[in-house]
Amino acid sequence: MSRNFGLGSRDMSTAGRFVLNAAARAGTLSFSTAGTNAGRWSQFVGWAKDHDVKKMENVTSELVREYGRELASRVKAGEMADSTAQNLVSSVNSVMGLATKWKSVSPTKECGIEQRSMVREDAPGAMDRGTYERALQAVKEELGPKGGAIVELAREFGLRSKEASLFDARTACQEAKERGYITVSEGTKGGREREIEIRTPEQAGALVRAAEAQGDDRAVMPAAENWQSWREGELRDVRELVAEHTGGGLHDLRAAYACERYTGMTGHAAPCAGGQIADKGADREAREVLAKELGHGRIDVVSEYVGGRK
């Protein structure tokens, strides 16, 4: 058998990059994810060579566990974030899984890297309406109305970027007039359809503008694009431009929606924005509503958007 599973290079780092790029061309990975994983894989390759492992055939689960344990030591010493260490091990799993039959090594259970905390501790920048409006205006001016529609749908309805991109705003406008709700069905995680009530003038206006941006297309995303080209092109530009103004990308727009909605339901700011939970029952009810509106199946995930329950 040729070296590195016949992936086209005798260099382990290059062979890993080749298999990642092949996966990106096939559409199973985004090109940005492939590039990120290639960089992390190269770090592992450098470490492996120091341990006399110079080809992928000699990479074993025990070797990766040893690598992960060294990373765990760096986390405990304060030299590296737990998320960075976990991502480094995960990228090795990704490359080896693409190259050969591979049983993934758990960064937490097998390497001892501390479980990362996903509880939001800071208020999203887009909670401030002035900051948000400046970000929205910048997107509209530099990228056009479709990009602006994505931003508004994320901020006013808490839609994911894929949900907003595949959203049929024309149909939603009609549904909103007839029922007072919109249905989110395309691009959802796990195919979970959900309804969101129209409660504010900002939501109604966002729907109208999204429908205008959509035009004759079947969704907000241009008909000439596929999801991969749109995600790696204009949608990425939208995300980066929003981040320049708010300090966070499109996910932070979802968090801003959640925090604002939480305040409306409980009467006080979200925990990540300095609010104190006075009524645990009201807090739980608000999280249950937000879990459904954000398209999640569990209320504990809501802590990523509004902060923890302590």
Q: Of the candidates 210, 231, 254, which is a domain's last residue?
A: 254
The more confident residue out of 265 and 2 is 265
Residue 298 resides in a domain: no
Query: What span, in angstroms and rounded, lies between the C-alpha atoms of 146 and 282?
Result: 37
In this prediction the pTM is 0.67
Among the three residues 207, 228, 254, which one is the final residue of a domain in this structure?
254
Residue 74 shares a structural domain with residue 169: no
In a domain, residue 111? The reply is no
Distance (Å, rounded) from C-alpha 123 to C-alpha 140? 24
Classified as helix, coil or strand, 92 is helix
| Residue % of the chain over a pLDDT of 90 | 75
Look at residue 302 and tell me if it is in a domain: no
**65-123 per-position pLDDT tens digit:** 999 999 999 888 878 877 788 889 999 999 999 999 998 898 988 999 876 667 888 89
Q: Is the dihedral of CA 273, 278, 279, 284 positive or negative?
A: positive
Answer yes or no: do 88 and 157 share one domain.
Answer: no
Q: Is 181 helix (H, G, I), strand (E, B) or coil?
A: strand
Q: Is position 38 within any domain?
A: yes
What is the SS3 assignment for 183? strand
The answer to the question of residue 279 being in a domain is: no
- Whether residue 75 sits in one domain with residue 187: no
pLDDT (tens digit per residue) in 147-187 = 999 999 999 999 999 999 999 999 999 999 999 999 999 99
69/148 same-domain check = no
Type of residue at 286? A
Same domain, 20 and 130: no
Q: Does residue 292 lie in a domain region?
A: no
For the chain, the domain total comes to: 2
Asked, for residue 250, whether it belongs to a domain, the answer is yes
Write the DSSP symbol of residue 159. Answer: -
Alpha-carbon dihedral sign for residues 291, 295, 300, 302? negative
Same domain, residue pair 130 and 84? no
Domain, as residue range, for 170: 125-254
Domain boundary among 217, 239, 254: 254
* Residue 106 domain flag: no
How far apart are the C-alpha atoms of 200 and 95, rounded to whole Å? 46
**Residues 87 and 136 occupy one common structural domain:** no
